[in-house]
Structure 1
C-alpha cells in the first residue's frame, strides 16, 4: 500500500533493511516466543549487528550517528511485520537517549556501544504504584553517603527488567525538605545488586517483554552510578520521555499498518455468494477510515521525530503523535479482527494476540487522559486541572 509518509533515499533503504530482517522472523516467531515465555534473542542480535538498534546514537560510541527519525522507522517497520518490541522503545530509545545526553564520558563509553549493538540492555525504572504519571511524587529514595548512594523503594510495571543488565532508575533526594517537590536524580543500578529483587506481574500481554515489580532494599551503588548532576533528574529524564512517546507512537502505527494490510488481503480473498467481502461498503469503508487514521498518525509521528532531531521543543508533537497513533492503531486492529469475522480470533491469523499490546499503548507510557491534560493546558492555555 502507498502511504502519506514519503521516505527519502536513505530512509527507504533503512526501511527495506529492517523489513528484510523482520520478514525472516515474522509475527509467528514473535508470538510463539511470547507464549513460551522466551525472548527474541536471535532477532535482537541480528538487528544490533546490522546497526539498527543504535542508529540514533553517537558514532563515537558505536551508534549510527543519525537521529530519532531513523529509530522511529526501525520500530515502525518491525511492528508493521507483526513484531512490536517494547524493549526497542526502552533500551535504545529511552535509556540510550538519556545516557547520550547526560551520561559521563565513562558511562557513555561503558554502556552505549553495547546498547547500540544489542549485546547489552537497560530497563527504565520510573513508575511506582503511587506515582504513575506524576514524576514529582516518586517515593524511591536515594541517600548519599561516603561510599556513594543508598537506594530504597519500589518500582512498578518495569518492562524487560529480567532481560536487562541494569536499571536506569529515577529516585528522589532523601535529604530534601519535608513537603513540596523533592529533587530527582538518575542512577544506573545493576540488576544483580544486593538488595534488588524482581517480582513478575502476570498480565494478558502476548509479548516477549514481561512486566515486573522491582524492590530496592538499601541497594548500594558507587558515585559513578549517578547520571549527570544530583537533583537535576527531572530535566534529564525528559531526554528520554519524548523519545519514548514518539517510539510508542511508531509501534502503534506499525501495528496499524500490519492490521490494515492483513484485513485488506482477507477482504480481497474471502468470498461470500461469489463476491469478495471487500466489495461491500460495510467492510471497505471502515478499513478505509482505519487506513486514513493510521496514515495521519504516521505523519504526526514523523513530524515529532523531526522536531526532536532538530533540537526544538517536541513535547506537544510527541504527545499528539502518541495519542493519535494509539487511537488509530487500536481502531485498525479492532476493524481488522471484525473484517475476519470469527477468524479474527483464530491464532493462525495473527491479529487477536496483538490486542492487549496495542491496548496498553492507550495507557502507557502516558495515558490518553494525561495527553489531553497536556494539550488542554500547554497548547490551549486552559486552567490547570491538577
Structure 2
C-alpha cells in the first residue's frame, strides 16, 4: 500500500491546477454573481480530457478511476473554480452508465461525458423523503414498450444546463404496489417534464431546481441496468458522489487556506506579520491538519472504490465526505477571521464560501446521517431510526 500518488496522478493535478488558474476565482465569482454559467471553463476542461479521465478509453475517456476525477475536482476548487456539476455528471451519471448501461447506452452517452459536450443531472431527493431513500414516491410503470414516469424531485443541481437527468424512481406493479428503485434517463425536453428554480442565497453558477414528472413517457431503453437491482446499483453511483464531494470540500479548504496564510504572512500590525501570533497561527495549523487528514481518507476511499471493494469504499467515502466538509467549514471560518473585516469583502473571495462550505455538511448526505452510518456499520451499535 502506497501513501504517495502515482507520477501520472501528480502530473494530472499539476496540469489541472495550471489550467484552472488561468480562469481563477475572479472569473468564477463574476460568472456566478451575474447569473451566468462557467461554460468556457467546462468546455475547455472537456477538450483537454479532464472531465473524462474516468471514462473508459474505448469511449474516448482517459480510462482512469474515480481517484483521478476527484483529483481534477479538488485542484479546480483549490484555485477558486469549484464545479459542482463535476460531482454529478461525470462522477455519478457516467459511472452508473459505464458500470450498468447497455452497450447502446454506453455508445450514446459516454463519449459526450468524455469530452464534456454532454451534461447529465442526477435526481434522487424528494420533498417528503429527505434522507430516507426507502420512501421515494416518484414512480415508473410499464405500458407496452414504454415506461411512464410520475412524481417530483427537489434540490436537483444544474437542470437548466444539462441534456438529461438520471432519475431514481420506484416501479409500480399492476396492483399499484411500489417495488425496488431503478434508474431512468430522462431527456430535459421530454413532454410532461417541467422544472422550476429554487431561490438560493448561495453564490454559485449551478442552480437548484424542483422537478415535476407528469405522465412522462420514455422508451424501453431509458432504463439503466436491472429493473430489480435496487439500492445496490444505486450506491454504485452514490459512493463516487461522496468521494467527489469530499474532494470538492478539500479543494475549497485549500483555497481558503492559501488566502489566509498569504494574508497572515504579509499583513503587519505594529511591524509584525499577524501570522507570527499563535492566536492566528495555531488555528490555521489545526485546519491544515484537518485538511490533510480529509485528503488522505478521500484517497483511501477512491482507491477502495477503484479496486472494486464497494462495501469498504462506502464506509471510507462517508468518512471522507464528513471529514472534508468539517475541514472546509473550519478553514473558511478561520480564513475570514484572519482577514478581519476584509474576510467579508468581495475582493478577497472568502465570504461567498460560507454558504458553499455549509452545504457540504448537508448534501449529498448530511453529517448526521453519516454519523448514523458509522455508528451502525462501523461500530455495530443499534440503529436509532
**SS, match of residue 208 in structure 1:** coil
The residue number in structure 2 matching 1:320 is 319
Question: What 5-or-longer segments of structure 1 have no aligned partner?
Answer: none
- 1:150-171 CA deviation, whole Å, 9 max, x = no partner? 1010000000011001000010
The residue number in structure 2 matching 1:230 is 227
Give the one of 227, 235, 242 matched to 1:245: 242
Residue 351 in structure 1 maps to residue 312 in structure 2: no
The residue number in structure 2 matching 1:380 is 379
TM-score, normalised by the number of residues in structure 1? 0.97
Offset of residue 178 of structure 1? 6.8
Offset of residue 175 of structure 1? 1.6
The residue number in structure 2 matching 1:286 is 283
Question: Which structure 2 residues correspond to residues 134-153 of structure 1 after superposition, within 5 A?
Answer: 134-153=132-151
Offset of residue 233 of structure 1? 3.6
Offset of residue 176 of structure 1? 7.3
Offset of residue 348 of structure 1? 0.5
Q: What is the alpha-carbon distance in structure 1 between the residues aligned to residue 92 and residue 78 of structure 2?
A: 21
The residue number in structure 2 matching 1:103 is 101
The residue number in structure 2 matching 1:185 is 182
Offset of residue 5 of structure 1? 6.8
Q: What is the alpha-carbon distance in structure 1 between the residues aligned to residue 174 and residue 319 of structure 2?
A: 34
The residue number in structure 2 matching 1:210 is 207
Question: What 5-or-longer segments of structure 2 have no aligned partner?
Answer: none
The residue number in structure 2 matching 1:128 is 126
The residue number in structure 2 matching 1:370 is 369
Question: Which structure 2 residues correspond to residues 111-122 of structure 1 after superposition, within 5 A?
Answer: 111-122=109-120
Residue 269 in structure 1 maps to residue 266 in structure 2: yes
Offset of residue 174 of structure 1? 1.6
Q: What is the alpha-carbon distance in structure 1 between the residues aligned to residue 37 and residue 3 of structure 2?
A: 32
CA contact (8 A) 2:55 2:113 kept: no
The residue number in structure 2 matching 1:29 is 27
The residue number in structure 1 matching 2:71 is 73
Offset of residue 37 of structure 1? 1.0
Residue 331 in structure 1 maps to residue 330 in structure 2: yes
Residue 161 in structure 1 maps to residue 150 in structure 2: no
The residue number in structure 1 matching 2:43 is 45
Q: What is the alpha-carbon distance in structure 2 between the residues aligned to residue 255 and residue 168 of structure 1?
A: 27
Deviates more, 1:98-107 or 1:127-136: 127-136
TM-score, normalised by the number of residues in structure 2? 0.97
Number of corresponding residues: 382
Offset of residue 89 of structure 1? 0.4
Offset of residue 177 of structure 1? 6.4
The residue number in structure 1 matching 2:198 is 201
- 1:45-94 CA deviation, whole Å, 9 max, x = no partner? 11111111110111111111010111111000011011111100000000
Q: What is the alpha-carbon distance in structure 2 between the residues aligned to residue 383 and residue 368 of structure 1?
A: 18
Give the one of 18, 21, 28 matched to 1:20: 18
Structure 2 vs 1, CA of residues 268 and 5 (structure 1 numbering), >3 Å: closer, same or farther? farther
Residue 306 in structure 1 maps to residue 307 in structure 2: no
**SS, match of residue 185 in structure 2:** strand
RMSD of Structure 2 on Structure 1 (CA): 1.3
The residue number in structure 2 matching 1:86 is 84
User: Which aligned segments of 4 or more residues in structure 1 are displaced greater than 4 angstroms?
Assistant: 176-179
Offset of residue 145 of structure 1? 0.5
Q: What is the alpha-carbon distance in structure 1 between the residues aligned to residue 329 and residue 4 of structure 2?
A: 23
Q: What is the alpha-carbon distance in structure 2 between the residues aligned to residue 357 and residue 105 of structure 1?
A: 37
CA contact (8 A) 1:136 1:182 kept: no
The residue number in structure 1 matching 2:251 is 254
